[in-house]
Amino acid sequence: MNFLEQIVSRAKSDIKTIVLPESTDIRTIKAAAMIQEQGIANIILIGNKDEIKKLAGDLDISKAQIVDPADFDKFDEYVNTLYELRKAKGMTIEQARKLLSENVLYFGIMMVKMGAADGMVAGAINSTGNTLRPALQILKTAPGAKLVSAFFIMVVPNCEYGENGVFVYGDSGLVENPNAEELSEIAIASSKSFKSLVQAQPVVAMLSYSTYGSAKSELTEKVVEATKLAKEKAPELQLDGELQADAAIVASVGQSKAPGSSVAGKANVLIFPDLNCGNISYKLTQRLAKADAYGPIIQGLARPVNDLSRGCSAEDIVGVVAITCVQAQNM
């Protein structure tokens, strides 16, 4: 089985309930129908029942639960809970009611918070900021997590590198310019996500334009310091840096540029120094190598909430929902 087939199989082994709040988008409706047909997850769609069914047309979404905030029997309970969570930040009960009436992303996150769902997937028609803001405000971080960050799982066809062509790219979706401390946390969290989702041993490369001091600047020193911090925090982790990308994944180059490194030439978790590098790299890999890109997958939240690219397909949504289910199983 390939990576996605394994994830889908794991999702089916312990069915979770996932909220898809963007029910005005046909890709979301198609994904809901596919997910229910394959038995991957229980799905909740948010919105007006008649409008959703009209948009679905001949698509079978009969097994999906459709929740309309306008007639939801626990709406007042959700409003009061949101108010209590956010009143210290100045939110009034009227603002909480308006927000849950009008914003399906906040309503979806409240369903996760209240235990009606195990996770949420959105972002097909919303920005990353709008998608994740409710999660950060309401769900907060997981116990022990110091930072919320994002990664992509890249599955490169016919590839001899990484874990049979499977990589984690982090952070390639959220943290814009991490300092050394934050970069070390991203590396450790990404290694755990790789092990959980790919079910293989993570080999983590802290990437730079320099390998082992071949260049020195403020940019490279940040990666050097992040590598040092990550090794101190997680000495059991197979992690090294700073490494150039070719030294990280190509054995012959790694042996030449970083002799003696336990990571060089073997990396499957690539940690980028900033969001520019990570985001550009995942998109280039996706387009030039015809790779499947799943994400951005969020790590560090108390419950799984995942973002989508606004250019996603219905099939992409199915994949991210399956990943979200597996994350929920491991929480």
pLDDT (tens digit per residue) in 266-319? 999 999 999 999 999 999 999 999 998 888 899 999 999 999 888 889 998 999
For residues 41-62, b (16+ Cβ closer than 10 Å) or e, as one string?
bbbbbbbbeeebeebbeebebe
In tens, the pLDDT along 161-182 reads 999 999 999 998 889 999 999 9
What's phi and psi for 263, nearest 5 deg?
-110, -40
Nearest-angstrom CA–CA distance, 291 and 165: 9
Tell me if residue 101 falls in helix, strand or coil.
helix
CATH architecture assignment, domain 149-288:
3-Layer(aba) Sandwich (3.40)
Tell me the pTM: 0.89
The CATH code for residues 3-140+317-329 is 3.40.50.10950
Tokens 């369903």, located at residue: 111
**pLDDT for 140:** 85
**pLDDT for 213:** 82
**Domain parsing of the chain, residue ranges:** 3-140+317-329, 149-288
pLDDT at residue 331 greater than cutoff 90 = no
The candidate with the shortest Cα–Cα distance to 144, out of 315, 302, 320, 274, is 302
| Degrees, nearest 5: CA angle 183-331-100 | 90
**pLDDT for 146:** 87
pLDDT at residue 1 greater than cutoff 80 = no
Equal fold, 3-140+317-329 vs 149-288: yes
In tens, the pLDDT along 44-80 reads 999 999 999 999 999 999 999 999 999 999 999 999 9
In tens, the pLDDT along 78-88 reads 999 999 999 89
What pLDDT band is residue 120 in, cutting at 50, 70 and 90?
A: very high
